[in-house]
Amino acid sequence: MTTETYSPRPWKIQVVDMTDRSPDLAFRIPGIPPRRTLQSGRGAYRDETGKVRFFTKAPVRADAWQMLDKFRKLLPAGWEPRGDSARVRIELVYPLTREERRRMEAAGANILLPHTVKPDVDNLVKSILDSMTRAGVWIDDAQVQDLQARKWRGLLPRWAVFVWWLPPVAIPRPPRRKAEPEGQGTLFG
């Protein structure tokens, strides 16, 4: 996978190859990935003044806290939030249906099938990145510059989040203009 960094001239792009680097942080979590997202667990009501009030349903809050707890436990000891740009890859493998599991085990196959039902991958990504922000992986999830997310079904349910810190890009200053002699080439000279 390559990441593009921008040079001072927009038509020249320097490509930084990230495939040979192992991730700077890797969260490998066995078990079923999150099924409820913060976006799916929101509700609203009108209070006595007619104002709309929003709330998060209790099971969704519990899932969010469990996710946050998992990230906190897997962070290295003494970890401080980073302020650099990041590249993130999220892999989610949900369990197969009974029929799919039976057929795969009978064939001795272990392949990943597309997972095209809810929860939506974009809402999962938002919940995961928000939990990582609250856990202190980075200062803000706006630092994620490059994001890849995959959602599958397989024999072994699991989920993983990989983080690479991107090298800072220095924007060079333009060369200084030479001072013109006084009285020559100026508007009023």
Largest CA distance in the chain: 91
Can you give the pLDDT of all 189 residues of the chain as single tens digits? 555 544 444 444 444 555 568 999 999 999 989 886 655 555 666 677 877 766 566 666 667 778 888 899 999 999 999 998 999 999 999 999 999 999 999 988 888 999 998 888 998 898 899 889 989 999 999 999 999 999 999 999 999 999 999 988 777 788 877 766 665 555 555
**pTM across the whole model:** 0.71
